[in-house]
Structures are given as C-alpha cells and as structure tokens.
Chain A
Amino acid sequence: MRILLTTCLAIGTLLLMLIGCQSEVDIKTAQYAVNGQKVYLTHCQNCHGEKGEGLGNLYPPLTDTTFFQANRPKLACIIKHGTSGELEVAGKKFNSVMPASNLSAVDIAYVLTYINTKINKGKESFPLDEVEKNLKNCQ
C-alpha cells in the first residue's frame, strides 16, 4: 500500500514539473508563430522569400536582427502602411516601395512573432498590446 502511494506521488510530481516547465508565455508565442506562418505565406513570402532571404537589391531580407531590434517600434507601422525611400538592411541599401498590407493588429503581432522566432530563431514574441500601441504612433 505504501509503495503504491509513493509511486503515485512520484509520478504526480514528475507530471507537474513537466507542465510547469512549459510556461504560458511559451505556449502563447508558439500559438502566435503558428498563426503568423499563415499570414507570412499570404502577405510576405512572395517578395521576402520562404526563409526571409529577400531578393537581390529589390526586396530586403528579414534576417537582419540588428535592424529588427533598432526599429522594433516601427515594424508594425511598416507592415500596416507600407514604406518607401532608402533603407539600409544587412549592409545593403534598398530603395523600393513596399505596399500597405492593411493587416489587423493581431495578424501583425502573429507575423512579427513568426519572423522573430521562426525565421530568426529569436525568443521574443510581439504581444498584441505592444503592436496596438505602436500602431497608434505611426508617422
């Protein structure tokens, strides 16, 4: 009887530890990334490529993490309203027009999380409230 009880307790503790390891933040990031992949495929991949490699000097790559960090507050606006003029990405100068996507805030949060965690292997997600805040400050 005592052995049975100990075994049950041990298994229970192990299970708890397993569930505890995968925090809520990770699950949310994973959900965002999965949804973001669909958005990426429809709205971004044609120009920026399957692996975010860009295309020559026409379309910049999305793999420049320094650019991503430096321009983090502007990214949502660029996706929503498009951009034009000169941009320096990954040491190359680009000067093409990116059309407006008019994606919703949540789709933008999804796709930015996908680019950041799947294409660039980063850990940070782009929470919806951050994207909504950034969109209010678009220039």
Chain B
Amino acid sequence: MRSITKFYCATFLLLGFFSCKNNSQTNLPIYGEREAVEKTVDGKKIVDTLYHTIPPFKLLNQDSAMISDKDFDGKVYVANFFFTHCPSICPTMNRNLLKIYQQYKDNDEVRFLSHSIDFKYDQPYVLKDYANKLGVSNNHWQFVSGTKAEIYGLANQYLVYTAEDKNAPGGYDHQGYLVLIDKDKRIRGAYDGTNDEQVKKLMNDLPSLLSEAKK
C-alpha cells in the first residue's frame, strides 16, 4: 500500500515539474489589464487573451525629428519619465539608466525612451544638450517631448504616475519607474530607478526578455 502512495507522489511531482517547464518561457509577468476575446482561426472558435499594450504615438525627439511607436517595432525598450532641471529623483534614475545604456547601446534590439514631463521648458534643443552632457552617443536613447495631454496620457499607458504639482520639487511630481517593454509593446516590468536592488533586477530581466523574444 505504501509503495503505491509513494509511486503516486513521485508521478505528481514529475508532472508538476514538466508542466512548469512547458508553460512559461521566462518568469517575467505581463502587466496591465487584459481581456479574453473569441477568435475564429481555421474555422474553429478559440479564446485568446488581449494584453495591455502601449498605444501608437508620435513625438518630437531631441533632434526635432518626429519619432513614433514604429521606431520601436521589434525592439525591447526601457521607458521613463523625467525632466531636465528635476532636482529630486531624475538624476539618480538617469544615472542608473545610463549604466544600462552603456551596456546595450550597440545592441540593435534594445532601445531607451525618456519622456520629458516638463512640456513648457524641455524643448528639443534643451533635451539635446541634456543627452550630450549625460553621455548619450547614439540614437538608441531617444528623449522626447510633447503636449501635456500627449505625455501625461502616455504615462498612464506605461502605468507611471505623473502630475504638475507646485509643491513638488521642480514643479512636477512623478514616479521614477524604468518600464521594460517587450517586442509586442507589452509591459513586462517596472523598476524603481532610484533603488539599486531593483535596477540590478532590471539588468537581469533585460537579457532574459531578449532571449525570450528569440524563441
């Protein structure tokens, strides 16, 4: 009797092990709201999941050129929200993002996208000067600006809080998340750019997202 129980236990353990292995390619979650939709594929009805994705956008970059979501098609990218004369969290956040940029700037599959939330002051030439001084040497890291509605609306899509606030240092309140976006424009991670532990996690997650995309 005992041996039968043991046998079952072992079988279940093995089953559990295999199912885990087959299910997921990486351990990175997919963030945001999702819905189930019914689709007809080859005459059969199937249920598919629609994930939250970053919607199309068109914004002016540091070279006064219009860039859009198309420039990020098929790329893994890290997005954040900042402003150039931000006295609080931005320098730390961009200091950390710079470390990751320096590692990946020559990797054509990786991009960086910083949105300025100071729609009054951060004109393209201000952003260009900032990027140069920070040490950004190619166009794999884009600095964009737009109207308040465009940028703050996008921030919501990236699930990052941004607001104009007279009481906040520099006049704007925002979260310092570095948001990791996959090749299908889904949010796969959000890391506090001022926290060394979380930045390290991003450094680990980025290569695993890149290898997932290859499968």
Q: CB within 8 Å of B: which residues of A? A: 45-47, 49, 55-59, 96-97, 99
Asked if B135 CB lies within 8 Å of chain A CBs, one says: yes
Q: How far is the CA of A55 from the CA of B94 in the complex (A)?
A: 9
Q: Which 8 A-B pairs have the closest CB atoms?
A: A57-B133, A56-B135, A58-B133, A47-B91, A56-B134, A46-B91, A46-B92, A55-B95
B130 surroundings in chain A (CB, below 8 A):
58
B95 surroundings in chain A (CB, below 8 A):
49, 55
Nearest CB in chain B to that of A96: its residue:
B133
Are A58 and B134 touching (Cβ within 8 A)? yes
Most chain A CB within 10 A, of B90, B98, B134, is at B134
B98 surroundings in chain A (CB, below 8 A):
55-56
Q: Of B88, B90, B133, which is within 8 A of A56 by CB?
A: B133
A57 surroundings in chain B (CB, below 8 A):
132-135
Most chain A CB within 10 A, of B88, B90, B91, B130, is at B91
Q: How far is the CA of A97 from the CA of B87 in the complex (A)?
A: 10
Majority-rule SS of A interface residues: loop
Q: CB within 8 Å of A: which residues of B? A: 85, 87-92, 94-95, 98, 130, 132-135
Q: Of B85, B89, B91, which is within 8 A of A97 by CB?
A: B85
B135 surroundings in chain A (CB, below 8 A):
56-57
Distance between B172 CB and nearest chain A CB, rounded to angstroms: 14
Q: How far is the CA of A119 from the CA of B130 in the complex (A)?
A: 26
What are 14 A-B contacts with C-beta separation under 8 Å? A45-B92, A46-B90, A46-B92, A47-B87, A47-B91, A49-B95, A55-B94, A56-B133, A57-B132, A58-B130, A58-B133, A96-B133, A97-B85, A99-B85
A49 surroundings in chain B (CB, below 8 A):
95
Q: How far is the CA of A58 from the CA of B88 in the complex (A)?
A: 15
Beyond known contacts A45-B92, A46-B90, A55-B134: 9 more, CB 8 A cutoff: A46-B88, A47-B87, A47-B91, A55-B98, A56-B134, A58-B130, A58-B134, A96-B133, A99-B85
Nearest CB in chain A to that of B169: its residue:
A99
Q: How far is the CA of A49 from the CA of B194 in the complex (A)?
A: 11
B132 surroundings in chain A (CB, below 8 A):
57
Nearest CB in chain A to that of B95: its residue:
A55
Query: Given A55-B95, A56-B98, A46 and B89 touching (CB < 8 A)?
Result: yes
Distance between B9 CB and nearest chain A CB, rounded to angstroms: 51
Are A58 and B85 touching (Cβ within 8 A)? no
Q: How far is the CA of A84 from the CA of B134 in the complex (A)?
A: 18
B92 surroundings in chain A (CB, below 8 A):
45-46
